[in-house]
């Protein structure tokens, strides 16, 4: 097959193609950025007292938002500051979404890549390099992620630093009745997870599957109830299903991506079917992820 030599061009010095053209291209097909299944939510979004956000993208499932700033040429300090500022304004105004700052530039220099990486872990920020390629039929854009957000690990990824305890510790801290709720979680999970046991730690009760740590869910017994955290991504489908049941739901844990449910013995018995379904979803995702 014949090799075709590609001709890269620099948009910053181009006479016709400008930042608005780049916005048009991304707005028409947001998937080009490699952020997954996203849609255009807004464009040139006014930030009171701070200018305009180039593009606001949103996950198709509605729970993740991306504040996208485009820079022709190389990144510069003002570009980074502006991107973080827009991200901060949007997350404060709409805290119900998971927000990610996205910098798109033709040249993401090593110096500013280092600066951006300092934010990562505390500020979810991505850097995407943009290359324009001129072809006979037109100009194409190629986007390459050079810095991704740091994903939070599973609770058991640092299990060795958690202080081990035993059942007596938790019975004294909570109660025998609520610790038995954790037992019931293993009984429900055993139907799809196999050999599963409780793993007692100082701050929570985790799970062992086939003798290995596998915290697809964790239990925190209290005196009169137990908080159950189940690690599955937030979705409209799950929210809708949970809304059908009279469960005592706590705020979704965006950091570790956990649904958190406060349960009494009576509530666990009443809602066993939906709890078991959520546990199985979390276990299946853990096995594949």
Report the CATH number that the domain containing residue 42 is assigned in CATH.
3.40.1350.10
Same domain, 15 and 133: yes
Last residue of one domain, picked from the residues 147, 181, 206: 147
Same domain, 227 and 120: no
Same domain, 138 and 191: no
Distance CA 233, CA 210 (A): 25
Number of separate domains in the chain? 2
Last residue of one domain, picked from the residues 104, 125, 147: 147
CATH number, domain with residue 221: 3.90.1150
1 within a domain of the structure (yes/no): no
39 within a domain of the structure (yes/no): yes
At 77 the pLDDT is 83
What is the DSSP code string of 79-143? HHHHHHHHHHHHHHH-TTSEEEEEEEEEE--HHHHHHHHHHTTTS-EEEEEEEEEEETTEEEEEE
Burial of 232 (C-beta count, 10 Å sphere; 0-12/13-18/19+)? buried
| Token code pair at residue 153 | 């690990």
Same domain, 203 and 243: yes
Crossing angle, helix 236-243 and helix 272-288, to 10 degrees? 160
Provide the sign of the torsion angle of the four alpha carbons 34, 37, 43, 45, taken in this order. negative
Same domain, 28 and 48: yes
Same domain, 105 and 189: no
| Token code pair at residue 147 | 């810095």
pLDDT tens per residue across all 289 residues of the chain: 777 777 887 888 787 888 898 999 999 999 899 887 788 989 988 877 778 899 999 887 667 899 999 989 888 888 888 899 999 999 888 887 889 999 999 888 887 777 777 776 678 888 899 998 888 788 888 899 888 765 544 444 444 445 678 999 999 999 999 999 999 999 999 999 989 999 999 888 999 999 899 999 999 999 999 999 999 998 888 988 888 888 888 878 766 788 999 999 999 999 999 999 999 999 999 887 5
118 within a domain of the structure (yes/no): yes
| Residue range(s) defining the domain that contains residue 95 | 7-147
Closest CA to 61 of 87, 28, 34, 39: 39
């Amino acid at each position: 097959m014949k090799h075709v030599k590609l001709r890269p061009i620099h948009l910053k010095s181009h006479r016709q193609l400008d930042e608005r053209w780049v916005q048009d291209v991304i707005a028409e097909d947001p998937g080009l950025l490699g952020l997954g299944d996203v849609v255009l939510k807004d464009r040139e979004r006014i930030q009171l007292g701070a200018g305009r956000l180039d593009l606001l993208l949103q996950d198709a499932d509605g729970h993740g938002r991306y504040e996208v700033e485009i820079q022709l040429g190389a990144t510069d300090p003002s570009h980074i500051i502006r991107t973080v500022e827009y991200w901060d304004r949007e997350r404060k105004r709409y805290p119900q979404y998971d927000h990610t700052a996205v910098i798109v530039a033709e040249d993401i220099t090593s110096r500013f890549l280092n600066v951006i990486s300092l934010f990562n872990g505390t500020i979810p920020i991505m850097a995407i390099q943009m290359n324009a390629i001129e072809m006979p039929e037109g100009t194409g854009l190629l986007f390459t992620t050079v810095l991704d957000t740091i994903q939070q690990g599973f609770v058991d990824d640092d299990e060795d630093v958690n202080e081990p305890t035993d059942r007596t510790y938790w019975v004294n801290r909570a109660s025998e009745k609520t610790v038995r709720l954790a037992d019931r979680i293993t009984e429900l999970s055993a139907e799809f997870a196999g050999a599963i046991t409780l793993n007692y730690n100082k701050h929570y009760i985790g799970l062992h599957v086939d003798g290995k740590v596998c915290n697809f869910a964790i239990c925190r017994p209290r005196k009169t109830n137990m908080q159950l955290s189940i690690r599955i991504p937030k979705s409209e489908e799950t929210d809708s299903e949970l809304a059908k049941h009279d469960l005592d739901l706590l705020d979704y844990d965006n950091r570790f991506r956990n649904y958190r449910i406060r349960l009494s013995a009576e509530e666990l018995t009443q809602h066993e079917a939906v709890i078991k379904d959520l546990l199985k979803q979390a276990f299946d995702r853990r096995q594949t992820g």
